Amino acid sequence: MGDTDQFLGSWLVSEYVYTPDGHAIGVIHQRRELRRLNDHRIRVIQHCVPDPALDGHPMAAFAGEWVFDLSIEGRLRCYHGPDVVGCGEVWGEGMMIGRGLWPRFGKLFRSFAMLVTPDRQVTGGRFFVGPAPVACIVGVGVPEHSGAGWPVLHNNEHPGMLATCWRGHMHRLSPEGVVIDAHPLERQYHRSAVTEATPARTVMLRYDRQKISGDGVGIGWRIGALFEGDILFTPEHSVTFLEVCDSVTRIIVGIRRHYRAGLLECVETFQLTASG
């Protein structure tokens, strides 16, 4: 959700609901309307309709209308309630990470939103009660005026099933959100590994279910089209990553946060397109 007119108006969002361990359990259809109140504040109105498969699950209570105001303060998107309180931070063009509370719904949240094309965004996150996760959401939104109806985000097992080669660009940003540099990025999928090449270096990682090894060691997990996790490249250098593969556009969008001895060192955002 950004500060330009392209995000205003009405969006149709399909939110795919998963259990914390990744089992698909239902879909919530959401009509999301963004109205500009003044130069620095936007009102967000969400009307949600969970499908019957969610009956008996906590996300069934997400039905109905939810309203909150959003202010734009530089890179920050602050949520002022009544139904959402918290803050999101924008990284580069069209990528945001947020967290906060839905007081009336009674859940904490962590969220992401990433623009795939000017008329298509992937979104999602997790709901919590205290430290305990309740559900994982992976969604996709399109402008209502497109006439395409409710968008679809396929439950991808692996991007390598769509293409073995993906090409695009990566931007590296400072902890303050300033672009440090940009460079081409190429990813090759193999049977149980992936290699990423930039002009500076090539990294190879192997995947055995959740375990990651190779040039780093970590844990990753796939939930529908979402892939996220943590990798340690050295004892003091860790990376938290999140990416979504949209098989409709054949595009992967993602964000990585690099930490050095627990402090944020830089953030990388990237977009890859299937090329073979």
Domains 5-146 and 159-274 share a fold: yes
pLDDT digits (tens, 9 = 90+) for 52-92: 999 999 999 999 999 999 998 899 999 999 999 999 999 99
pTM of the model as a whole: 0.94
Q: How far apart, in whole angstroms, are the C-alpha atoms of residue 43 and residue 260?
A: 38
CA 261, 262, 265, 268 torsion-angle sign:
positive
Q: What's the confidence (pLDDT) of residue 1? A: 40
Q: Across all residues in the chain, what is the average pLDDT?
A: 94
Q: What's the confidence (pLDDT) of residue 259? A: 98
Q: How far apart, in whole angstroms, are the C-alpha atoms of residue 64 and residue 276?
A: 43
For domain 5-146, the CATH class is mainly beta
Long-range contacts, stretch 52-61, CB < 8 angstroms, 24+ apart: 52/26, 53/25, 53/26, 53/27, 54/17, 54/25, 54/26, 54/28, 57/17, 57/25, 57/26, 57/135, 58/107, 58/127, 58/134, 58/135, 59/17, 59/26, 59/28, 59/127, 59/134, 59/135, 61/105
Of the chain, the percentage scoring pLDDT greater than 90 comes to 87
Task: Please compute the mean of the pLDDT values over residues 88-103 and round it to a whole number.
Answer: 94
| Angle in degrees, CA 263, 90, 13, rounded to 5 | 125
Tell me if the domain spanning 159-274 has CATH number 2.40.128.20. Answer: yes
pLDDT digits (tens, 9 = 90+) for 11-44: 999 999 999 989 999 999 999 999 999 777 899 9
Sorted by where each begins, the domain ranges of the chain are: 5-146, 159-274
Q: How far apart, in whole angstroms, are the C-alpha atoms of residue 244 and residue 165?
A: 16
